[in-house]
Amino acid sequence: MKTTPIQSLHHNNAVYSAAFSPDGRLLASGSMDKTIKLWDLSTGDERHRLRGHGETVCAVVFFPDGESLLSAAFDKTLRVWDVATGKLTSTMAGHQEYLTSMAASQDVRVAVSGSHDKNVILWDISSETQLAVLKGHTDLINAVAISAEGTTAASAGHDLLVRLWNFEKRESMGELGPHEAPIECLAFSPDGKTVAAGDDDRAIRLWNVKTGTSTTINAGHTRTVKSLAFSPDGRWLVSGGGDTTIRIHDLKANQPLQTLNAHRNTVYGLAFSADGSRLASTGFDRTVHIWDVSELKSV
């Protein structure tokens, strides 16, 4: 595979998040500059610049029809935007302190957010209402994740634990851990059976949701693990770190597959296109890199 980006896009400040549209033609990127940029990937041109958030945009998710975009920011809000016009259509608020992370189900029917207020909020995006405020964390929450079907959520942060939540019952399913350092990122496998967690001690652990057992991946990062993403087919786990590298791990063989170098600072976000052929990475260096991973081969 190509080990240099096929495309590079830029913001005026650190880029925290990115998402491909369902058809792969657009990319949304959220930044510390408080904007979301919608990019036409066929030309690399900026189609819209979405303004409205008052702080760093930490998460972006396209709706399945590609016509709307869900975003979340440190300003404690979730917002929905019209992709065609770039206009804001709704705002949802609920957290009392910085909203640090957000994830949505595959159909974007429900979402979960985590905050420095130590709470997890479950959202019904279709009705723009809170379903529940889940309490249990004893310190700042850095990361949340949700299974594709939207029935199970995970959250983690400075209390060193991954907490699991049942969406339907709106209650705790237990906790995993502890890790030996604050947890910075989470990702659910496509089948929902595994949660990956990356922490400040450079460790990545794969947690079995049903049994609570874990295995450790030696990804080779030399600094904090800040971002994680499973490939759509579940064969690979990709991690980004404070060491500026992106590392692709073959889960079946349980060994490193590829290391990508292009960012000049911490890699904050990772996202696959729906068909798994491209990977977007975002960084503190104000850049979004697009990688062609279509020729990546498992061991």
- Return the pLDDT at 168: 86
Domain with CATH 2.130.10.10 in the chain: 1-93+228-246+259-292, 94-217
Residues written for the chain: 299
- Return the pLDDT at 298: 67
What is the pLDDT tens value at each position of the chain, 299 positions in all? Answer: 778 999 999 999 999 999 999 999 999 999 999 999 999 999 999 999 999 999 999 999 999 999 999 999 999 999 999 999 999 999 999 999 999 999 999 999 999 999 999 999 999 999 999 999 999 999 999 999 999 999 999 999 999 999 999 988 999 999 999 999 999 999 999 999 999 999 999 999 999 999 999 999 989 999 999 999 999 999 999 999 999 999 999 999 989 999 999 999 999 999 999 999 999 999 999 999 999 999 887 65
Residue among 101, 111, 56, 106 at smallest CA distance from 80: 111
Task: Name every residue whose Cβ is closer than 8 Å to that of residue 43 and which is 6 or more positions away in sequence.
Answer: none
Edge-first strand listing for the sheet containing 255-261: 225-230, 236-241, 245-250, 255-261
**CA dist., res. 11 & res. 35, Å (int):** 9
- The radius of gyration of the chain's CA atoms, rounded to the nearest angstrom, is 17
Task: Name every residue whose Cβ is closer than 8 Å to that of residue 186 and which is 6 or more positions away in sequence.
Answer: 143, 144, 145, 154, 155, 156, 162, 195, 196, 197, 198, 228
Contact indicator for 268, 227 with CB cutoff of 8 Å: yes
**CA dist., res. 159 & res. 137, Å (int):** 7
Fold topology of 1-93+228-246+259-292: Methylamine Dehydrogenase; Chain H (2.130.10)
Residue among 175, 95, 83 at smallest CA distance from 140: 95
Residue among 19, 52, 22 at smallest CA distance from 38: 19
- Return the pLDDT at 296: 84
Contact indicator for 232, 274 with CB cutoff of 8 Å: yes
- Return the pLDDT at 299: 55
Which one is the CATH code of 94-217: 3.40.640.10, 3.40.47.10, 3.40.50.2000, 2.130.10.10? 2.130.10.10
Residue among 46, 49, 41, 3 at smallest CA distance from 22: 41
